[in-house]
Chains A and B, each alone.
Chain A
Amino acid sequence: MALFECRLKKYRQLKELTQEQLAAQVGVRRETIMRLEKAQYNPSLKLAIDISRAVEAPIEELFIFD
């Protein structure tokens, strides 16, 4: 199922953010963050940028495509 590796959980925990808090910051539902962390949802470019800004990590570090 996973087409990419997602390291969002690691960076989110580093920033001490809950899924709920991160979801509120980037304007999505908590379920979307859950799916993202399991690499089960391919985010839009805007959402990826918003998340990388929220957790202060580069996009290429968060989402790793083969």
Chain B
Amino acid sequence: MKKNSVRVWVGCGIFCIAAVLLSVWYAVTFNDSRLVVLMDFESYAFTPRDLPMIVSILLACVYVLALFIRLFISIGKKQRDPAASNTTRRLNPKLGLLGLLGFLGFAGFWTYSVTGDVSPFVFLLFFGFFGFFYEGKMSGTFMDERFRENAARAQLTSYKITFKITLIVLIILCRGKLFGSMEYTLMAVIIVLSLTLALGIFLQEYLLYRYDHDDHMEEGEA
């Protein structure tokens, strides 16, 4: 995307957010918070005062939809461009720090004890973002047939490891309840699945880097 069009898109986004905020303020102040708080739509009757909320929400929806379409078009264009599709995507290795978000997953222990909710365990998946560190190191690399071969090898190895760990853990867990509780067992399944998927995501990038890097090391030594 060109800088000008990015500015237009960001501007439209800011306008949509401002419109939604203004209409929420209007609805809360002058319209008894209609369409802001939950309401029964079966008995809903339109009043002209609802218009700002309806228009701003419609605007925001159209903006999000247009943004998605624009993104799909630009991804398609990139894939058709041979120069762009033959090199790995440009990425800053510092994005690997996003892997630290995986620690959010441990919040699941707290939410489980307070509300019984186990969904935060899924955040353990974010540990996979550590792979961005190695992907960033390989960014902008020309993808020749040896690179693609190494990528396929790395992918296959990571899948094998992930499936093996998942299978072993599931067999162990399915043999009996963890601490005599089915709930704990299912929690352990969610944790293990999230962690193994994260490992799979990370390993793909790490192994690819290692295969390519080890090749270079050998060449340097010779």
Contact = CB atoms under 8 A, between A and B. Distances in A.
Interface of A: 27-29, 31-32, 34-35, 38, 40-41, 43-44, 47
Interface in B163-218: 215-216, 218
Contacts, number: 26
A32 B144 contact: yes
Contacts of A41: 146
B153 to A, nearest CB: 12
Most buried by B among A27, A32, A41, A47: A32
A31 B145 contact: no
Contacts of B147: 29
A32 B219 contact: no
A3 B145 CA distance: 19
B111 to A, nearest CB: 48
Nearest to A27: B144
Contacts of A31: 146, 215-216, 219
A34 B219 contact: yes
